[in-house]
Amino acid sequence: MRKFIYITSAVLAALISSCHKNASTINESASFPSEFKFLDLNLKVLTTIINTNKKTTAVLYGNELAFKRAAVHDSIRTAGEQYVLVTWSQQANPDWFGSKIPYELVSVDVVKILASDKGITKTEHKRYIGKNLSPSKDTIGQAAVTAYILAQKPAIVPDL
């Protein structure tokens, strides 16, 4: 009879502990607003940037053209390249002591390389700010941000 009680207790304890709701592995605070349609852009990661002074984490993404240009380390821009720099504030990682993870969206900078009528490329820069990614009307410093984004070196990724 004691064996039966021990086995029943062990099974009940296992069932009760298995019913406990697991914490979500999705970082909701760092997620994009659904109306931004970030996944529809089909971008690839080019590099990451950590700014410890500003306590931000950023990821530079590029479309297929930008990714190919970065892979061959070519500095000549072609029309159709698109770069997206996503910046998040940081928070302590609750699952790993001493590490930081993205917290809330700070900004998204989109730089597109456009062709002009004379065959010379030009750039277009748009900035979205805050966790709702509202379009910014402030144009001060756009040239500097564009130059910063285009100057980033790609992360080295081995061939698979």
Give the start-to-end residue ranges of the domains of the chain: 26-151
pLDDT at 150: 92
pLDDT at 66: 92
pLDDT at 139: 83
Return the SS3 of 158.
Answer: coil
pLDDT at 76: 81
pLDDT at 7: 53
Q: What DSSP assignment string belongs to 46-114? A: EEEEEETTTTEEEEEEE-HHHHHHHHTT-----TT-EEEEEEEEEEE-TTSTT-EEEEEEEEEEEEEEE
What does the alpha-carbon distance between residue 6 and residue 68 come to, in Å, rounded to a whole number?
A: 63
Q: CA separation (Å) from 20 to 13, 23, 148?
A: 11, 9, 47
**35-44: long-range pairs with CB below 8 Å, 24+:** 36/108, 36/128, 36/133, 41/82, 41/84, 43/82, 43/84
Residuewise pLDDT in 10s, the chain (160 residues) = 555 454 555 444 554 555 444 556 778 888 898 888 888 999 999 999 999 999 999 999 999 999 988 878 777 888 999 999 999 999 998 888 888 989 999 999 999 999 877 777 899 999 999 989 999 988 888 999 999 999 998 887 666 6
pTM above 0.85?
Answer: no
8 Å CB contact between 145 and 127: yes
pLDDT at 159: 65
pLDDT at 127: 95
Q: How far is it between the farthest Cα atoms of the chain?
A: 92
What does the alpha-carbon distance between residue 49 and residue 92 come to, in Å, rounded to a whole number?
A: 17
Residues 38-69 as b/e (b if ≥16 CB within 10 A, e otherwise) read beeeebeebbeeeeeeeebbbbbbbbeebbeb
